Amino acid sequence: MLNRLLLEHDHILRKLNLLELQYLDMCRGKIPDFSLMRSIVVYIQEYPEKIHHPLEDMIFSILLERLDDAGFVQELITDHTRLELISRKLRKSLESLTDGAVSMEDLEQQLSEFLTGQRQHIYLEEAEVYPLVQSVLTKEDWKKLHSAVPVLDEPLYGRRTRQDYERLYREIEDRSRLAIH
């Protein structure tokens, strides 16, 4: 299950990389692909925030029960909520661009906060908490978690890419191929 979370982090990071390229275009005065940006934020809201984070929260709650000084673990659980609020605000801004309700400067600030927050969060989980998870959780804990967690197909890299994510999938794969060559 920890391998699943690490793989999901890799998937999230690939999307963040693509979003960051769009953000950099904005910073350079180019017009980014707002539709693609929105698709990435929607993906983050639909999968990591609804499936990945709740699973982590269940795992982290076990750490909270067993560790004496686990304030940093509670901070990561709280951070999930903070990140969800940031992504909700960013999505709303991306959706209201045509109304002129948000300035490009505000959008750039929101993107910067979103990208930085997501990356820092993933780094802390992988560097600080996941090693603790490996050493603290028992086989019995993992069995309970497996039975409590629904098996859902990842909408982009699962058995079948959802139609509304086809373009996002193609963009990520195209960029991956370019990086290899």
- Which band of pLDDT confidence, cut at 50, 70 and 90, is reported for residue 179? low
Q: What is the mean pLDDT of residues 102-111?
A: 93
Structure letter (DSSP) for residue 52: I
Count of CB atoms situated within 10 Å of the CB of 157: 16
Q: Higher-confidence residue: 154 or 30?
A: 30
Is 2-180 a domain of CATH 1.20.120.520?
yes
- Which band of pLDDT confidence, cut at 50, 70 and 90, is reported for residue 181? very low
Tell me the pLDDT tens digit for each residue of 124-174.
Answer: 999 999 999 999 999 999 999 988 876 655 655 555 555 666 666 667 666
Q: Which residues of 129-150 are buried (b: 16+ CB within 10 A; e: fewer)?
A: bbebbeeebeeebeeeeeeeee
The predicted structure's pLDDT at residue 180: 47
Tell me the pLDDT tens digit for each residue of 141-154.
Answer: 999 998 887 665 56
Quote the tokens at residue 177: 């191929």
Amino acid at 82: R
Residue with tokens 């509304």: 164
Residue with tokens 């990945």: 52
Amino acid at 24: L
Q: How far apart are CA 45 and CA 156, in angstroms?
A: 13
Q: Which residues of 58-72 are buried (b: 16+ CB within 10 A; e: fewer)?
A: ebbebbeeeeeebee
Tell me the pLDDT tens digit for each residue of 32-91.
Answer: 999 899 999 998 888 888 888 999 999 999 999 999 888 899 999 999 999 999 999 999
pTM: 0.83
Amino acid at 40: I
For residue 67, which of 137, 155, 16 has the smallest C-alpha distance?
137
